Amino acid sequence: MKSKRVFLFRLVFILVLVAVAAVMLVIGRGHTVYFDNVELDYQGTTYETPYKLVIYTGGEEVAKLYDGERGMATCIGQSLDLTLEITQEKGGEEELVSVTLPLPYNMDGVVINLSAYLQDLPEEAYLSEFVPVVTETGDEEDVVIPGDDMMMGDF
């Protein structure tokens, strides 16, 4: 009876740990989101950009984009809440828009064309993956230094 209880306790403990790990995998997924304010050609139509876009996340300004510019923000989770301050023309009225962008789990870097998004285009038009270019620094990167020295560094 006691061993059965111990077994059950251990099983529940392991299941709880697995569940917590699964939750962490979902809520902790980090993304780097790049915001583009660039003109887009989609299915033969050209979509113009607003004059200025100011992007806020969590009440903080993360980017101020004029035509042809790119901004960046990092976020944790599966969606990104943004507040956009849109100025269509120079000297024009500012319009505040709140949006929630769903972010694909499998993408580390997500490029979002905000002007396309604001025109209600489908996801394939406004969202793409950002693939960083890894610069090779030469053979010295391959040299691995196992730490068996006696010095302490910054312990």
Asked if 65 and 52 touch (Cβ cutoff 8 Å), the reply is: yes
Work out the burial of residue 3: count CB atoms within 10 Å of its CB; fewer than 13 is exposed, 13-18 middle, 19 or more buried.
Answer: exposed
Secondary structure (3-state) at 147: coil
- Helix H or strand E encompassing 125: helix 123-126
Looking at 20, 66, 81, 96, which residue binds other proteins (CB under 8 A)?
A: 20
CB of 142 to other proteins, least distance (A): 6
Give the x/- contact pattern for other proteins in 79-118, rule: CB under 8 A: -----------------------------x----------
Give the x/- contact pattern for other proteins in 124-143, rule: CB under 8 A: --------x-x-xx---xxx
* Cα–Cα dist 62/111, whole Å: 15
Q: Does 3 bind other proteins (CB under 8 A)?
A: no
Looking at 29, 47, 54, 85, which residue binds other proteins (CB under 8 A)?
A: 29
